[in-house]
Amino acid sequence: MTGLASEETAIVLKTRWHPLWFTFFFLFRTLVTIDGMTSDLPWGKHTFQVEPGTHEVQVSLGDNPFGRPVGEARIQTEVAQGRTVHLRYRSPFSYIFGEGHIEMIR
């Protein structure tokens, strides 16, 4: 996470777990994929420098015992030159079967 100068083009992603799972989700990290590049990150706020244009952002918690992504959520967003897009991801209620939620917040 870094401070951004006004001319930088970036995506800022804030990840949070469902409040009812506060004793469980801290054991997991998030897998964040932007345009095919995956990062294994802790929960919290992360800044990704990107080129201007359309970007595909996917967040999950890895795979469940059945080999399916857990808490997967996707969004496609347009980032203009010198602008920052802010996204928020929230984990699912159920670890095994739930889907996550991602949205633009600014």
Tens place of pLDDT per residue across the chain (106 aa)? 445 445 789 999 999 887 766 666 667 788 999 999 999 999 899 999 999 999 999 999 877 777 778 889 999 999 999 999 999 999 887 665 678 899 999 7
Let me know: does 4 contact 47? Beta carbons within 8 Å: yes
Q: Where would I find the beta strands (DSSP E) of 1-106?
A: 10-16, 30-34, 37-41, 44-49, 53-60, 73-79, 84-90, 101-104
State how many domains the chain has: 1
Which residues, including other chains, have CB under 8 Å from residue 96's CB and lie 6 or more apart?
A: 64, 65, 66, 70
Asked whether residue 3 is domain-assigned, the answer is no
Asked whether residue 90 is domain-assigned, the answer is yes
pLDDT of residue 1: 42
d(CA 86, CA 67): 30
Asked whether residue 5 is domain-assigned, the answer is no
Domain around 87: 10-104
**pTM for the whole structure:** 0.83
Give the residue among 93, 99, 87 at the shortest CA–CA distance from 19: 93
Asked whether residue 4 is domain-assigned, the answer is no
Tokens in use for 54? 């359309």
The CATH number given to whatever domain includes residue 28 is 2.60.40.1120
pLDDT of residue 99: 85
Asked whether residue 1 is domain-assigned, the answer is no
